[in-house]
């Protein structure tokens, strides 16, 4: 057996696949799978597991494939992955598990993805299912949506003993309440929800201070170049080149949106000795002792620091664009901790290149969905605009972490639960969202 080269995978002939829509790759049969599994070195310190996003025990399941114990291999995979048939087909194994395979140093890596696919397909063909919880815990859970995330969540909850039901068409299943664990509601079709009598409740103020403090942290970071200073000093470079900032004291802060988070940011800016102006369709009376409300154009023209704190709606989508950027002061600092869609990224990049901004701080951005809460340190970002933003020395991007404090997480859980209890009791609350 040639251990340096993987067992070839059978494929449809070109003339055959040209006339159908079946999978081109036919996968391994049992003998091919066992032969490929025999190439695995069964490393004690398995680097392949470090490359797997869900930490499948790869050496263990491959060892079972080698011995022909396909059912046991399936159960090992199922401990970590709910969708092995899908992952075996679409995961980028070449940059994940197989990219770390020791066998690949002097030959071809073990075909981990093809073996995972084989095991999953064999289990389906033989009606093998993941092991159930020994007993139910008495709690019922509804999972909304049957996409990969929903199915994975449902599977993991079922393993823990929950009685899980998946809903795709909510109203047909009798769903009457959607509980949002965030302030934003742009991902919910409010008109359709209202049409079918579905109540939508959010968590509008789980810790406004947490987000506002993060917004000011971003502003201070790009102003005083803290990200640069940290790197320079760690390399024993104590020079001051490239670290010049400016005082916030007596400068003008423009707050777009003065709900709870915007109000908290306004108070922080006041504490820095800044003049605070604001724009909002609905003015916050509690701020009028120190905040001056102006038009959006006036705010753009007067502000040294602009901080966005408004929801994403049709009226606010791409409110920061080429035209609004032109109206800003030269050398302005822009901070966004609200929703990425408020800023048209291509226009922002154009403004950065034109040296319109002293600095830009972003906790949210348009192309963040594949990145949020994920470790992609070993990957190449496929989204060019995100990569371009990261290339600018005066841009600071964080991981959608503005909310991430102990106090905020506790408040989210408590408010979400209270929203459910209020709905059950028939109480109207300010947390209800309507079209």
Question: Structural domain tally of the chain?
Answer: 3
The range of the structural domain enclosing residue 149 comes to 133-168
From first CA to last CA, the distance across the chain in angstroms is: 66
Structure tokens at 350: 């154009």
The model's pLDDT over 287-325, given as tens digits with 9 standing for 90+, comes to 999 999 999 999 999 999 999 999 888 889 999 999 999
In a domain, 182, yes or no: no
Could you tell me if 98 and 224 lie in one domain? no
Chain mean pLDDT for the chain: 90
The model's pLDDT over 45-84, given as tens digits with 9 standing for 90+, comes to 999 999 998 899 999 999 999 999 999 999 999 988 888 9
Catalytic residue among 400, 406, 407, 410: 400
Could you tell me if 103 and 240 lie in one domain? no
**CATH number of residue 298's parent domain:** 3.40.50.720
Could you tell me if 145 and 237 lie in one domain? no
Could you tell me if 274 and 359 lie in one domain? yes
Could you tell me if 116 and 163 lie in one domain? no
Could you tell me if 49 and 112 lie in one domain? yes
Q: What is the 3-state secondary structure (H, E, C) of the chain?
A: CCCCCCCCCEECCHHHHCCCCCCCEEECCHHHHHHHHCCCCCCCCCHHHHHCCCCCCHHHHHHHHHCCCHHHHHHHHHCCCCCHHHHHHHCCHHHCHHHHCHHHHCCCCCCHHHHHHHHHHHHHHCCCCCCCCCCCCCCEEEEECCCHHHHHHHHHHHHCCCEEEEECCCHHHCCCEEECCCCCCCCCCHHHHHHCCCEEECCCCCCHHHHHHHHHHHHHHHHHCHHHHHHHHHCCCCCCCCCCCCCCCCCEEEEECCCHHHHHHHHHHHHCCCEEEEECCCCCHHHCCCEEECCHHHHHHHCCEEEECCCCCCCCCCCECHHHHHCCCCCEEEEECCCHHHECHHHHHHHHHCCCEEEEEECCCCCCCCCCCCCCCCCCCCCHHHHHHHCCCCEEECCCCCCCCHHHHHHHHHHHHHHHHHHHCCCCCCCECCC
In a domain, 198, yes or no: no
Could you tell me if 143 and 83 lie in one domain? no
pLDDT of residue 32: 94
pTM given for the model: 0.59
| Active site (annotated) includes residue 339 | yes
Could you tell me if 93 and 154 lie in one domain? no
pLDDT of residue 22: 83
Could you tell me if 38 and 14 lie in one domain? yes
In a domain, 301, yes or no: yes
Catalytic residue among 339, 353, 376, 410: 339
Catalytic residue among 309, 368, 376, 379: 368
Looking up tokens 């289990």 gives: 123
| Least reliable range by pLDDT among 96-105, 164-173, 292-301 | 164-173
């Amino acid at each position: 057996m040639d251990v340096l080269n993987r067992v070839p995978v059978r494929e449809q002939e070109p003339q055959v696949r040209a006339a159908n829509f079946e999978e081109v790759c036919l996968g391994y049969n049992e003998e091919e799978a066992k032969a490929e599994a025999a190439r695995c070195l069964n490393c004690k310190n398995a680097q392949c597991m470090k490359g797997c996003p869900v930490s499948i025990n790869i050496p263990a399941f491959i060892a079972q494939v080698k011995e022909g114990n396909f059912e046991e291999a399936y159960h090992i995979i199922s401990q970590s992955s709910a969708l092995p048939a899908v992952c075996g087909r679409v995961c980028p194994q070449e940059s994940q598990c197989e990219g770390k395979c020791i066998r690949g140093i002097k030959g071809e890596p073990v075909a981990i993805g093809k073996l995972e696919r084989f095991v999953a397909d064999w289990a389906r063909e033989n009606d093998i299912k993941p092991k159930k919880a020994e007993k139910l815990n008495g709690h019922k859970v509804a999972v909304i949506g049957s996409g990969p995330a929903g199915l994975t969540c449902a599977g993991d909850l079922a393993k823990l003993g929950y009685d899980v039901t998946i809903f795709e068409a909510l109203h047909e299943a009798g769903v009457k309440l959607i509980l949002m664990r965030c302030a934003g509601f742009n991902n919910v079709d409010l008109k359709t929800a209202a049409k079918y009598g579905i109540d939508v409740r959010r968590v509008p103020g789980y810790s406004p201070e947490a987000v506002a403090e993060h917004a000011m942290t971003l502003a201070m970071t790009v102003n005083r170049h803290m990200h640069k200073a940290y790197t320079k000093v760690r390399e024993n470079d104590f020079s001051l080149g490239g670290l010049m900032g400016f005082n916030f004291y007596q400068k003008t802060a423009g707050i777009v949106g003065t709900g709870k988070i915007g109000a908290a940011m306004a108070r922080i800016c006041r504490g820095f000795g800044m003049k605070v102006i604001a724009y909002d369709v609905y003015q916050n009376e509690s701020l009028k002792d120190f905040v001056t409300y102006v038009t959006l154009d006036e705010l753009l023209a007067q502000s040294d620091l602009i901080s966005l704190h408004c929801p994403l709606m049709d009226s606010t989508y791409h409110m920061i664009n080429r035209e609004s950027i032109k109206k800003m002061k030269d050398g302005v600092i822009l901070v966004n901790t609200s929703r990425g869609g408020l800023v048209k990224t291509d226009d922002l990049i154009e403004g950065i290149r034109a040296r319109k901004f002293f600095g830009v701080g972003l906790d949210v951005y348009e192309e963040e969905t594949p990145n949020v809460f994920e470790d992609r340190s070993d990957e190449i970002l496929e989204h060019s605009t995100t990569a371009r933003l990261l290339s600018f020395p005066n841009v600071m991007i964080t991981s959608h972490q503005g909310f991430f404090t102990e106090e905020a997480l506790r408040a989210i859980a408590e408010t979400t639960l209270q929203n459910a209890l209020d709905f059950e009791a028939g109480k109207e609350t300010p947390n209800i969202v309507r079209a």
